[in-house]
Every structure is written in C-alpha cells, then in structure tokens.
C-alpha cells in the first residue's frame, strides 16, 4: 500500500514538473507575479520527467494488480497484503492527473488566450477628430524579433506582458507558431535593444 502511494505521488510530482514549461506562465500570470523565467529550463527536462512519471505509474499498477506474493501461509511475515480499493482508486486518479499534465501543451494556449483577453476599446465619439493620436501613430515603427525557447502557446503570455509593460511599446503580438514577436513601438521612447531585453527578462531568448 505504501509503495503504491509513493509511486502515485512521485508520478504526479514528475508530471507537474514536466508541465511547468506550459502551466508555469499561466500560474504566474494568474497570480500577477510577472514572468516565470524558469519555464524554458523545464522544456529540456520534460521528456525525462514524463518518462519517470510513466515508470512510477507502471510500478504502482504492477504492485496493485499484478504482483504475486511468495508461497506462504496467510498471516505469516511473507504474506503480501492486497492493495485496498482506496489505493487502487488513488492510483487511477493519479494516472488521469499525469495524463492531464502531459497534455497541457495542447490546451494551455486556449487558457492563456482566455486569461489575456482584453476588453474592447471605447469608441471615439462621432465627429471628434483625434489629431494628436493620428500624428503619434504616424511616427510608430514595427519590428519582428525571433524568440527562442517557446514550446507551447502559453509561453506567449509572459513575453507579451513584459513587452506591453515596456515604455514606448504600443502593441505586441507574440506567436508560438511563428516563433517571433511583432512589436509596434515609438522610437522616441524605446528601441529594438530595449525590446529584446524585455523578452530576455522572461527567460526566453530574443534574436
């Protein structure tokens, strides 16, 4: 029983660690803690952590369903106690939890898009011309920066947040599929080097 619990707990911990590259940015963004700079570091370890989770689950299922005890009389020291119903239920719950974390790259992006959804801007009253805004818009420039280290669409969240907090940046579009960030900025307030530093501060690499 104890071995099954340890295997289940270890598998869940390994799966959570393997998924931090995707769920880490979401957790930090949801808590308002800024960028999760270690997200990129967990990507390299993801296959090994998921492999460890699978092995631990396999061990737990073997102990719960397939292990046979040594030949001895019931009640003797060599007798093996069968896994309880609660232990087997916990093992299956752990298996589904590991599966959910393993599949996080496929749904984390939709969660990130929902969390970062912006309310529509207020409409300009009819007949009122905003000449000051028009002149400033004409002076804006756009740059596309290649970003390395993104492994799923939830990685877009901390990068976009860091760029939008950079003085002079008017808008930022980050794409995991393209592997870049398109930034519209005011060259009088910021430049490409500052934009790249903002991206680097999130743990990803701007090229």
The yes or no reply on domain 138-206 and CATH 3.30.70.100 is yes
- The predicted pLDDT at position 180 comes to 95
CB 204 within 8 A of CB 148: yes
Q: How confident is the model at residue 61 (pLDDT cuts 50, 70, 90)?
A: confident
Q: Where are the domains of the chain?
A: 2-108, 138-206
pLDDT per residue as tens digits for the range 150-160: 877 777 877 88
Burial 121-145 (b: 16+ CB within 10 A, else e): eeeeeeeeeeeeeeeeeeeeeeeeb
- The predicted pLDDT at position 32 comes to 52
Q: Is the pTM value of this prediction over 0.85?
A: no
Tokens of 195: 């934009």
């Amino acid at each position: 029983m104890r071995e099954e619990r340890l295997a289940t707990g270890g598998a869940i911990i390994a799966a959570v660690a393997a998924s931090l590259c995707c769920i880490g940015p979401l957790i930090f963004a949801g808590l308002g803690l800024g960028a999760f700079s270690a997200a990129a570091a967990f990507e390299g370890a993801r296959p090994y952590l998921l492999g460890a989770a699978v092995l631990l689950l396999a061990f737990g299922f073997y102990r719960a369903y397939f292990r046979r005890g040594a030949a001895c009389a019931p009640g003797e020291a060599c007798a093996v106690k069968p896994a309880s119903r609660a232990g087997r239920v916990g093992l299956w719950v752990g298996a589904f939890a590991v599966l959910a974390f393993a599949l996080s790259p496929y749904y984390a992006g939709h969660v990130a898009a929902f969390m970062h959804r912006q309310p529509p801007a207020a409409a300009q009253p009819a007949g009122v011309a905003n000449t000051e805004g028009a002149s400033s818009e004409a002076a804006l420039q756009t740059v596309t920066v290649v970003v390395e280290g993104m492994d799923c669409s939830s990685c877009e969240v901390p990068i976009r947040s860091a760029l939008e907090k950079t003085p002079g940046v008017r808008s930022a579009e980050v794409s995991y599929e393209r592997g870049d960030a398109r930034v519209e900025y005011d060259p009088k307030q910021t430049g490409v080097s500052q934009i790249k530093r903002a991206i680097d501060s999130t743990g990803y690499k701007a090229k």
